[in-house]
Amino acid sequence: MPSSMSLIAHDTLLPFSGRAPAAWRHALAAATLLSACAGAGASAGEPPAAEAEADKPAWSFGGYGSAGVVHSSEERADFTGSTLNPGSAGHGHRWASNVDSRLGVQLGLTLSPSWSAVLQLVSESTRLHAYRPAVEWANLQYRVSSDLSVRLGRIALPLFLAGDYRKASYALPWVRPPVDLYSAIPISNSDGIDASYRWRVAELNQVTQVMVGHTSAQLTRDTQAQSRRLLGLSNTTTSGALTVRVSAQHTRLSADVGMPMFNALRRFNAQGEALAERYQIKDTPTRVLALGLNYDPGQWFLMGEIGRASSASFFSDKTGAYLSGGYRYGNLSPYLTVSGVRANSATHSDGLALDGLAPERRAAAVALNNGLNALLGATAQQRTLSAGLRWDWRADYALKLQYDRIKPLHGSPGTLINVQPGFRSDHAIGVFSVLLDFVF
């Protein structure tokens, strides 16, 4: 059976590039598990026997996993790394194992130097089914040339530096990607088609990716979010130890969240109709812009990203960012991260005018105004300071410890979920995580 190293693909963006020590070269191998397909075609310099071997179908199998626990000092809300994969650290459980624990397996099939396919299944906590395996990737790739490839099927979204491997945390320096930025766009894949082209300018290597697709996510048993006409453009530049990724996405977003309230608002004639149209998510244009930089010469790394998501709905307009750095002492790698997310638009509405309303309609209008402002006020705003330590104690295994000091701001619950009565914003919360990452 081929090892995980055989899953290297031509279009994979590897983390931690540069002259990394032996333990960190395993992190590079882990990232290759999250490639678009398995294997690459034979080069022009291979002997005839090697070329003949390359023409034969070949398969590869590998995987990754994380097992950990999280403790939060906040008892009136739950900490989670993603709203689509909710954890229950805090109010739900004193120590929760469902925040970061997951298992992923990947099967790659190389049919010829031009054709290949990949299937990746991930089992993790979701809103509906705890640890039921789900298809993360399933696509067919055709390599037009050594520089141009096209994929069809379920594909990773080309967004953020860790967009291609955000769920394989062995390939990350931290326990999880910074929540302040990555939770803004928790969806990690789409169904459609993409094309990647490699080119070079002077000493700068470029990979430009264009994609078209759609995706959906089940928020509750009765609530779904749908992204239609998803268009994405990403360009990754590498030069030595430096990697820069710029990405943009545009989609038409719909979600059933708050529909009973919006339907009730429409009963208040033109004023209520205007509020419902303004804030509901119904085929709403939504844009995301992101810029990320990673400098990793091997002994240390410094990386940062900033992203803005904007939508003409209660989804709001917000900006998230982080800056992270670490140093490597043999197999030990301490790191620090500062991050934050803020709203760029108002998180309060005057709502329905109350003057002249009959007492019963006035009471209903007050309740609707309160509900609308509760929805707007839930827009994540917070600051986070994180400190952690990664220990690559043996090949293909890494133990991570991380402490996050999170402060929700401006009355917002930040990125916390399952908020209970009595929750207080604008005070610091301590989150401690222990995680064992591995690849196979």
**Largest CA-CA distance found in the chain, in angstroms, rounded:** 88
CB 219 within 8 A of CB 230: no
Q: Which helix or strand (DSSP H or E) is residue 28 part of?
A: helix 22-32
Quote the pLDDT of residue 349: 92
Q: pTM for the full model?
A: 0.88
Return the ∠ at Cα 360 (arms to 359 and 361), rounded to 5°.
Answer: 95
Is a pLDDT exceeding 50 seen at residue 20? no
The tokens for 282 are: 């119904």
More confident residue, 306 or 4: 306
Neighbours of 329 (CB within 10 A): 9
| Predicted local confidence at residue 78, as pLDDT | 97
pLDDT greater at residue 185 or residue 23: 185
As a whole number of angstroms, the distance between CA 5 and CA 111 comes to: 18
> Which of 435, 356, 374 has the alpha carbon at shortest distance from 402?
435
The whole-angstrom separation of Cα 304 and Cα 159 is: 14
Any idea what DSSP says for residue 373? H
How far apart are alpha carbons 431 and 17 in whole angstroms? 30
Vertex 60 angle, CA 59 and 61, to 5°: 135
pLDDT tens column, 156-206? 998 899 988 999 999 999 999 999 999 888 888 999 999 999 999 999 999
Lowest mean pLDDT among 17-21, 336-340, 350-354, 387-391: 17-21
CA-wise closest residue to 99 among 174, 168, 176, 170: 176
Using a 10 angstrom Cβ sphere, with 0-12 exposed, 13-18 middle and 19 or more buried, the burial of residue 424 is exposed
Which two structure tokens, joined as six digits, stand for 205? 């290597």
Alpha-carbon torsion 67, 72, 76, 80, what sign?
A: negative
Q: How far apart are CA 368 and CA 175, in angstroms?
A: 40
- pLDDT confidence of residue 83: 84
| Angstrom distances, CA of residue 324 to CA of 25, 245, 337, 404, 433 | 20, 16, 4, 13, 17
pLDDT in tens, 309-358: 999 888 889 999 999 999 999 999 999 999 999 999 888 999 999 998 99
Residues 6+ apart with CB under 8 A from 69: 95, 96, 97, 433, 434
Q: How many residues does the chain have?
A: 440
CA distance 160 to 208: 14
DSSP output for 39-91? --PPPTTS-HHHHHHHTS-EEEEEEEEEEEEEEES-SSSEE-S-TTS---EET
Question: What is the C-alpha end-to-end distance of the chain, expressed in Å?
Answer: 11
In order of their start, the domains of the chain are 62-103+158-439 (2.40.160)
For residue 41, pLDDT over 60 is answered with no
* Residue 82 in tokens: 């993603």
Please report which helix (H) or strand (E) contains residue 249, including its range.
strand 242-255
Q: What is the predicted pLDDT for the residue at 22?
A: 39
pLDDT in tens, 109-165: 999 999 999 999 999 998 777 788 999 999 999 999 999 999 999 999 988 999 889
Q: What is the pLDDT of residue 381?
A: 96
Sign of CA dihedral 339, 85, 281, 355: negative
Which percentage of the chain shows pLDDT scores above 90? 75
According to DSSP, the residues that pair with 107 across neighbouring strands are: 61, 119
Residue pair 194/176 in contact (Cβ under 8 Å)? The answer is no
Determine the pLDDT at residue 85: 85
For 140, the token pair is 């067919």
- SS3 of the chain: helix, strand, coil, percent, to 5: 15, 45, 40
Backbone angles phi, psi at 333, to 5 degrees: -140, 90
What average pLDDT does range 16-23 have in this prediction?
A: 38
